[in-house]
Amino acid sequence: MRIAVLGTGSVGRTVAPALARLGHQVTVGTRDPAATRAREAWDLDLPLTGYDTAADDADLVVNATNGQASLEALTAVGADRLAGTVVLDVANPLDFSAGFPPTLTVKDTDSLAEQLQRAFPEARVVKSLNTTTAGVMVDPRSVGDGDTTMFVASDHAEARALVVDLLHQLGWRDVIEFDTLSAARAMEMWLPLWVRLMGTLGTARFNVKVVRDEAASTS
């Protein structure tokens, strides 16, 4: 699959090479490629372009940007380019402007994923992976032998299935699907507890397992 990963922060720099290792053809998109290349931290052996061309041939666009910059990044990709394309939104609408812990810029009656879907109504937005740290997103086996839970939400069944398949490739076995993107509100509102747990446990290497009867639905 041809995948454009938008964002060169810790999430983009973790997700992009992991998808490439799975055999996908990955291009990384950033606002200013020259500035990104000049940064010491940039050492990925993957094509790096501006947002405007990163997704030119992409079957899947992964939004791994800062939640507050996501709308701008997808706008730079272009509504025409995103029409019909699956957008996997792994970002969180975190606001650190008042310090720690962060608050959410959107919540309860709306979500970042829904904001993106409304801005690009012809894209097919899928929310997933935002509930763990980047290293766990791409290596679920690193926590609890891989027996933890990942969530997926989208209004588009085919797009959801494409992402679930990608999750399986990454090693996720327990995937709970929500058939409406509005469930992204709940997935993003998990972040405050995630942040508190990180502080108390002293590590970001954790995840939740939703423990229930085996009969309960999963994919």
Contacts with its own copies by CB under 8 A lie at 101, 103-104, 107-109, 143-144, 147-148, 151, 176-178, 183, 185-187, 189-190, 192-193, 195-197, 200-203, 205-213, 216-217
**Cβ nearer to its own copies, comparing 46 with 198:** 198
In single-letter form, the type of residue at position 213 comes to: D
Least distance (Å) between residue 14 CB and its own copies: 19
Alpha-carbon distance of 126 to 123, in angstroms, equals: 10
Residues 218, 175 contacting (CB under 8 angstroms): yes
Place of tokens 């939400």: 153
**Cβ nearer to its own copies, comparing 19 with 177:** 177
Least distance (Å) between residue 119 CB and its own copies: 22
Least distance (Å) between residue 217 CB and its own copies: 6
**Cβ nearer to its own copies, comparing 104 with 163:** 104
Helices (H), 78-190: 79-82, 112-119, 134-137, 157-170, 184-189
Cα–chain center distance at 201: 23
Least distance (Å) between residue 100 CB and its own copies: 11
In single-letter form, the type of residue at position 36 comes to: T
**Cβ nearer to its own copies, comparing 56 with 174:** 174
Bridge partners (DSSP) listed for residue 86: 60, 124
In single-letter form, the type of residue at position 46 comes to: L
